[in-house]
Amino acid sequence: MKDILHRLHLPKDVVEILHKSPGITTFNTREELIELSLGGKENNFYEVRYTVENTTPVQEVIEATVTRCKNGIVINYPDPYMRRRDPNSMVIGDEEETDKPTYEEKYGKPFSELRNATFEWLSQQELLIMPFISGDNSLDYYSLVIVPKNAAFFALMLGDIQGFIPFDSLPKDFRPMAVVYVAPTFRYSHFDGKQIVVHNRLHHIHEVFSYNLYPGPSAKKGVYSVLLDIGEKEGWLTIHASSVKVITPYDNELVMLHEGASGGGKSELHQQIRREKDNKIVLATHMRTQDKIYLELNESCDLKPLTDDMTMVHPKFQKNHKKMIIKDAEEGWFVRVDNIPHYGTDPHLEKICTEPSEPLVFLNIDAVPNSTALIWEHIEDAPGKKCPNPRVILPKRLIPDVIDQATAVDVRSFGVRTPPCFDDAPSYGIIGVAHVLPPALAWLWRLVSPRGHANPSISGNMKALSSEGVGSFWPFATGKMVRHANLLLEQFQDYTDTLYLLIPNQHIGAYEVGFMPEWVVREYLAKRGSARIKSSQLVPARCSLLGYALEYMKFEGVYIPKSLLQVNLQPDVGDETYDKGAAMLEEFFKSELQQFLTRDLSSVGRHIIECCLDNGTVQDYEELLS
């Protein structure tokens, strides 16, 4: 024990927890951690149980189950609420500057009391400790997780997403900048069953107190919060984006980065375009007549994934380039598979998950011991109601053709989940297959970051159009919103050799499209051999917030119907209904942008927001950042 504590260089109060604990477990291999997650090598099924003593009556709860399958282990949560991230889980425990709710504001007492109680509870548990690095390994942002031993699966998930440091290979200079503490019983005794994660930013360390066992708000986004906190202090961002290098059959290359709220199409950027049995592509299906619009694609481009969700734009990677240089902040990807409803939907992903070279971790998948976990067999939240958030964690070493190096971005797109739009049911589903945005307008879309229609990744009832917050990473940030807005704006000012796009998913007017616009645009731009679209191909959109619409788009020799590029041309929509949808967007933008008009906002940012509030034109936006 003394050697362990000496090597970790921990604060005194953390050392005290480990000294008092009845047992400390460390490990060196992933195989050891898998067996710990199952409670031992002999187990094929394990229940993660706790006694909650600070309740009346005392509760015995099963927080999670762990099932051994042929291709990995499956984590399931008996409580359907725990199967996806609660967007209101973050609370700030310290007195540093923040725009987020603080613990004292919310609960009427200082966090120090709960912190002490949490440490006391942890000191009575057998514990597992795991060193890891938050973000890219080259940056040495050393971190540590302390978790009850019976919840070792939580460390396994975090380790697959961020990587872990084998204890025998611990660097001599290891001193954690962040510590994640996991204490699930407090969900019942203090927080009425809610997924609360408290961030306590001390001078020397960022503490993350996870009072639940779902990885989304803590093992995944909690680490994201740590990186955003470091970046806010150091002047850089980890943006909420996926990215891919697209290689055409003629060896042209294009790097596309895609941002957006959860459910906005980031994971889908890595997926090959979906085809029918006859190899055709269904671009769009009319929701009332079921008429389909088909495309043909003789040969798809090759895809080499770069990042999936947390994309670092660190000064260390930039090289006085006119293009933004990015690098992945993760070692494994938390991939949502709700869009895999049956076998054969995505053969590439299905093969990786069904026959992996090492066991995978699945969440919210229906499986029994010693079966093969199938990513299209989603657990039910209620009879006949599938869980909308099934997941698999894919370590990058298992994903073919992954690029794990700093790379320059050609195209930066933003995805929006859009509802259907009809003349008898107007909505903001008026975005065409793709819109080209001036940089100033592209920045505004990232400030308002709409969660959009039928978001599958987070729990709770939300308005049809609500904001994920600045950069769509705001739910995970602990500091000041305007500082992040300024850092985002610097990117649009500095990296001038970039094409900015707005791409819808789910619906375009009266048509259901899924993620097809994203896939079609990716193929289209790569095969054109340029991250540019001719000015003659663009017309100002009828709604100025949508930048430029495409006058035409020719895909594999066939013109995409103009009504999918300019939605007001659809007979089911028309100008009047389109304008009602535009008014919804305008009201949303003006409402969300007011909060950024503080004295800390850069002068350029203020001019851009005022342009929107004054109903500026596309040309006005062009002149603000040229």
pLDDT for 154-206, tens place per residue? Answer: 999 999 999 999 999 999 999 999 999 999 999 999 999 999 999 999 999 99
Spatial separation of the C-alpha atoms in residues 307 and 304, rounded to whole Å: 10
Alpha helices in 502-617 (DSSP H): 516-528, 574-593, 603-613
pLDDT of residue 532: 82
DSSP class of 58: P
What are the structural domain ranges in the chain?
A: 2-234, 238-324+409-624
pLDDT of residue 456: 63
pLDDT for 331-340, tens place per residue? Answer: 999 998 988 9
pLDDT of residue 461: 43
pLDDT for 383-432, tens place per residue? Answer: 999 999 999 999 999 999 999 999 999 999 999 999 999 999 999 999 99
Q: Which helix (H) or strand (E) holds 621?
A: helix 618-624
Pairing of strands 90-92, 197-201: parallel
Options 3.40.395.10, 3.90.228.20, 3.30.1200.10, 3.40.50.10860; CATH of 238-324+409-624? 3.90.228.20
Question: Which of 373, 483, 488, 427 lies closest to 100 in space, CA to CA?
Answer: 483
pLDDT below 50 — which residues of the chain? 460-463
Q: Are 267 and 336 in contact (CB under 8 A)?
A: yes
Q: What is the pTM of this model?
A: 0.94
pLDDT of residue 462: 45
Q: Which CATH architecture has domain 2-234?
A: 3-Layer(aba) Sandwich (3.40)
How many helices (H) and strands (E) are present in the chain, helices listed first?
A: 15, 31
Spatial separation of the C-alpha atoms in residues 440 and 29, rounded to whole Å: 48
Spatial separation of the C-alpha atoms in residues 190 and 589, rounded to whole Å: 37
Matching residue, tokens 């509870």:
121
pLDDT of residue 464: 66
pLDDT of residue 528: 87
pLDDT of residue 57: 82
Pairing of strands 360-363, 72-76: parallel
Spatial separation of the C-alpha atoms in residues 541 and 552, rounded to whole Å: 13
